[in-house]
A and B are shown apart, each in its own frame.
Chain A
Amino acid sequence: MLGYIFQRIVRAVPQLLLISVLAFIIIQLPPGDIVTLQIQRLRNSGVEVDEVQAQALIRQYGMDKPMYQRYFLWITNIITKFDFGYSFTFEKPVTEVIMERMGYTFAIALFAHIFTWTVAIPIGVYVAVKQYSITDYIVTFITFIGLAVPAFFLAMIIMYVALTKFDIRAGGLFSQEYLVLPWSWGKFLDLLSHLWLPIILLGTGGVAGTIRTMRAMMLDELRKQYVTVARAKGLSEFQVIVRYPSRLAINPILSGVMWLLPWLFSGGLMVEIVLNLQTAGPALYSSLRNQDMYMAGAYILITGFLTAISAILSDVLLAVSDPRIRFGGVEGA
């Protein structure tokens, strides 16, 4: 087992390096760089910047060095000092910008997932047991609609209706008054009163998918012989379902918990933008737009890194549950 884990990690190292190179290339792909962009913005807003001085600025920020040099400097700092570089738009180290937002980001993602599971798993089990019933059809229909409506659009409509019809200001994480106050019980309650919308919106997308998965898994498990055996033994239907097939069917979903990590950064980006949340996603996204290259690079790298770790974790988890993978790799790619 340990050997498998070790082998899996060793294999991830070149992958991670490749990701870092790709991340750097990707952020350099669009023409131009942040300094020229900002100089242009200055000019576009009336500040006169001399051409000579502009060139000096480009040198000053190291934008004239060849790409490989900048890459090596960047990656060395990350590996040796956990220093992701400097954010030009936030005028502070990238690490600081991200850390500031981690708390909310993590909380929202976690709550959204908990919402997803608490809603989706029971429903999934239920519709699987009652396959082809009216409830099954209704749930199927609703989940499909849930999969089809763009969440960012839903976010906007809900905010608009909440405001104009119910006088609820739904955007953001805090109401305007509390945003500027230090932490207090009132502020905490205020946060709770704002969390429902992002949690529901971010969770809904997952709900539909999870119900579909759960239903399929359950259907599969229910056909197996041990279920028949359990029934024959005289266990009540509820016990039969909860004790055996549900626990098995839930397995793959639990291994999906690992995917929470990369999801933190890009999962609900568009909803987060529309809802004006102070999470990591929108900040990183705006850095991409502004060609704030170290910030954007960190975004891609961290997301890639977390995805790779999640992949390792879920593989390991699968290996634990299924010895065949450990020993020969049936599908354990």
Chain B
Amino acid sequence: MSASNLLKKWFGRKERPQIKAGEEEEFYRAGQWQLVWWKFRRHKLAQMAMVVLGIMYFIVIFAEFVSPHDPLRRFKQYLSFPPTAIHIRDQEGKFRLPFVYGMVMKRDPVTFRPFYEEDPNAIYPIKLFVRGDPYKFWGLFDADLHLFGTGTDDMPLFVMGTDSIGRDEMSRIFYGGRISLSVGLVGIAVSFVLGLTLGGISGFFGGIVDEAIQRVIEVITTLPTIPLWMALAAALPREWPQLRIYFATTLILSILGWTGLARSVRGRLLSMREEDFVLAARLDGESEWAIIVRYMIPGFASYIIVSLTGSLPGMILGETSLSFLGIGLNPPTISWGVMLQDAQDIMNVAHYPWILWPVPVVVLAVLMFNFLGDGLRDAADPYVT
């Protein structure tokens, strides 16, 4: 909290000379986006992050099709199944297209832990565009086409293994991403609206309104996050369906997110109000509203985008923290946070490490958002180095 606030303060102060530096208004308005793009392209990590995130969002949007299985389907014969080894060479040493061997479940006679024996004679090639578990695509139409799989229930494909009751981890991660990757977007949208509106009002009108909003922000930032989350989460009416609870959870997450934005928007507006171009517009007889929308907001749009991207990882981690404390979403809803609940189990760490898949996935997503945010910040940085 402290570090990021300071950072924002710092950036706020640093960017002021930029406006002075952009000598001509024309250059400023036309050149900035171009400049940003040009700088962004130099940031290789950020570009990579954008590609990775693009793939991730593609997967979760088309989760029904990309997932090999129905995330709720249990495969009774494949409990706690380890990630399938995908072969390209068979027993006789011949190369062939990727395939998996048939597996048979056995139980350890002492510990009763399931283990699997390979049947080298049963070969199941991995195919593209196979028929499998039926689904209703986006809840709109029935389909059963999946991007890849073995296309048979004799030996289904479990790229990331299965959980203790035989559900495919990979499919669950894909479906779970729907919630986890959108929770940030929804939360940010809320923060954005709240922060921009309240910060704008505060900064533009000043006076008593400003004072009131600033005090509210102060109080909100003073309250410790976790008790606030817990109390709000516990107070949600339980009659609500999971989906609404989910939206409420994102709201809770963004309650704390908007204050930072509101503050910096206010700060920018305060300083910009004194700028020459605003004065010029005012003398031109433009309405206050038009001044805000036409001159001031474009002035710090880049800044807002940067700060929003920067708060996305926090939102994703926030969802996992809530689930860790058992006050977020709960099964049977699938999200990365819910899946992480299983990851906090010594038995899974010791015996079934593939249950921990959600961890690298979350880390990857957060990492990519951080890179992207970093790249955007550098790009939006007016200093040309």
Contacts and interface: CB of A to CB of B under 8 A. Distances in A.
The answer to whether any beta carbons of A and B sit under 8 Å apart in the complex is yes
Contact of A299 (B227, B234, B367): B227
A30 to B, nearest CB: 4
A288 interface: yes
B3 A300 contact: no
A145 B363 contact: yes
A285 interface: yes
B12 A331 contact: yes
A213 to B, nearest CB: 5
Interface stretch (A79-87, A152-160, A187-195, A228-236): A152-160
Contact of B14 (A209, A220, A252, A299): A220
A269 B226 contact: yes
Contacts of A30: 230-231, 234-235
A18 B359 contact: no
The range of chain B's interface size is 35 or more
Interface string A202-245: 00001001101100110010010000000000000000000000
Interface in A56-72: none
B349 A22 contact: no
Contact of B3 (A23, A210, A265): A210
Interface string B212-233: 0011001101111111101110
A308 interface: yes
Contacts of B224: 262, 265-266, 299-300, 303-304, 307
Contacts of A212: 3, 7
Contacts of A156: 344, 346, 349
Contacts of B234: 29-31
B231 A333 contact: no
A19 B219 contact: yes
Interface string B358-385: 0100111011001100100000000100
A149 interface: yes
Most buried by A among B224, B228, B320, B374: B224
Given A29-B232, A216-B7, A223-B383, A150 B223 contact: no
Nearest to A17: B219
Given A26-B227, A145-B367, A156-B349, A308 B222 contact: yes
Contacts of A144: 367, 370-371, 374
Interface string B123-156: 0000000000000000000000000000000000
B6 interface: yes
Contacts of B13: 331
A266 B225 contact: yes
A26 B363 contact: no
Nearest to B263: A333
Interface string B23-53: 0000000000000000000000000000000
Interface string B228-246: 1011101100000000000
A150 B362 contact: yes
Contacts of B214: 333
A15 interface: yes
A259 interface: yes
State which size class the interface on A falls in.
35 or more
B372 to A, nearest CB: 11
Contact of B227 (A150, A216, A296, A308): A296
Contacts of A216: 7, 10
A227 to B, nearest CB: 15
B208 interface: no
Nearest to A137: B45
A148 B226 CA distance: 19
Contacts of B324: 150, 152, 270
A331 B271 CA distance: 9
B2 A147 contact: no
A148 B370 contact: yes
A284 to B, nearest CB: 8
A256 interface: yes
Most buried by B among A31, A144, A300: A144
Contact of A288 (B6, B227, B271): B227
B215 A331 contact: no
Contacts of A19: 219, 222-223
A223 B350 CA distance: 51
A109 interface: no
A27 interface: yes
A259 B6 CA distance: 12
Given A29-B235, A145-B367, A209-B4, A160 B349 contact: yes
B72 to A, nearest CB: 25
Interface in B315-352: 317, 320-321, 324-325, 340, 343-344, 346, 349-350
B197 to A, nearest CB: 17
B76 interface: no
Contacts of B71: none
B167 interface: no
Given A29-B235, A160-B346, A213-B6, A307 B221 contact: yes
A15 B215 CA distance: 7
Nearest to A300: B227
11 contacts: A15-B218, A18-B219, A148-B367, A156-B346, A160-B349, A164-B350, A216-B10, A220-B14, A252-B9, A331-B12, A333-B267
Q: Which 4 A-B pairs have the closest CB atoms?
A: A30-B234, A148-B366, A303-B224, A259-B2
Interface of B: 1-4, 6-7, 9-10, 12-14, 214-215, 218-219, 221-228, 230-232, 234-235, 263, 266-267, 270-271, 313, 317, 320-321, 324-325, 340, 343-344, 346, 349-350, 359, 362-364, 366-367, 370-371, 374, 383
